Amino acid sequence: MTDEEQPPMSTDAVVTPEGLVPTGGLPGAGTVSVAPAPDLHEPLAAASVVAEPEPAPVVFDVSDLSVFYGDYRAVRDVSMRIRRNEITGFIGPSGCGKTTVLRCFNRMNDLIEGARVQGRLDYHGVDLYAPDVNAVEVRRRIGMVFQKPNPFPKSIYDNVAYGPRIAGTRKRSELDDIVERSLQRAALWDEVKDRLKSSALGMSGGQQQRLCIARAIAVDPEVILMDEPCSALDPIATARIEDLMKEIKTDYTIVIVTHNMQQAARVSDATAFFSTEVNPDSDVRTGLLVEFDRTATIFSNPHDQRTENYITGRFG
């Protein structure tokens, strides 16, 4: 509402009452590991064993998360770990709580009267819902791109510069650099560099959505949340957004809600399948996380029959 020369961040951060404070680089950053020369006397089979790569660091650690609107529990008992520089996809039928859970990651649900969260959602080991956490700073570090493109009724330049200006950047040269870098990262610079003062409302839908991504990038987030970012776009614009996601995940952690299972299979590294359960006495529906795993596993060998039924089109 998420460059090549200047990556937006190179350090982890924790949340404090004053905001998010850097805690330094990743363990072992900047070091080079050199494998020893193979022993040619070892059997060939033993020499060919390749060690499994270390998993990426955890950005979000979610434990037994439930979301309530008043007394109504919309989603229950969600647990997952989202890793750095990966794309995590949320899939499932309408009404299963995908977007509700997504909005928990940057506390957007705080803006809904009566909404509350139960359980724990850690960001780099810090409880995002602790009373001393600065929710505004959380939303700066964890940006969001919405279902329909929502550019401001301003120029293309002012759309991207809006966040940095709010954050205190005033020098025109600095703003120019931020706008150019952000539009380049969003694969939009070459298309708009000669009309930065034109209204953003005159852009195509796909361009507007990439502008919204550039606007999110401009405030140097670590995470970009995307709520069905391609649902209002044509197939060509959708392909551009998907390519962009795969390009920028080297700099950002991305969590995407999508109704398009093929899209989740194409772009995501891990996938969470949500569904609903119905209380037979009250007919009240509650969302729940059925299965969370690597995308290849979810789509080729799911562990839960409900997941297989959904991805094979038996319901949903």
Confidence at residue 221, expressed as pLDDT on a 0 to 100 scale: 96
Give me the residue spans of the domains in the chain.
12-20+55-149+222-311
Confidence at residue 50, expressed as pLDDT on a 0 to 100 scale: 54
For the record, the structure tokens of 118 come out as 């139960």
Q: Report the sign of the C-alpha dihedral through residues 213, 61, 293, 78, in that order.
A: negative
Is residue 5 scored above 80 in pLDDT?
no
Quickly name the fold that domain 12-20+55-149+222-311 has. Answer: Rossmann fold (3.40.50)
Summarised one tens digit per residue, pLDDT across range 107-157 is: 999 999 999 999 999 999 999 999 999 999 999 999 999 999 999 999 999
Percent of the chain residues past pLDDT 70, beyond the cut: 83
- If we measure between CA atoms, which residue out of 215, 9, 179 comes closest to residue 171? 179
- In 3-state terms, what secondary structure has residue 144? strand
Summarised one tens digit per residue, pLDDT across range 67-78 is: 999 999 999 999
Confidence at residue 280, expressed as pLDDT on a 0 to 100 scale: 86
Is residue 230 scored above 90 in pLDDT?
yes
Contact between residue 198 and residue 156 where contact means Cβ atoms under 8 Å apart: yes
Q: What is the pTM of this model?
A: 0.81
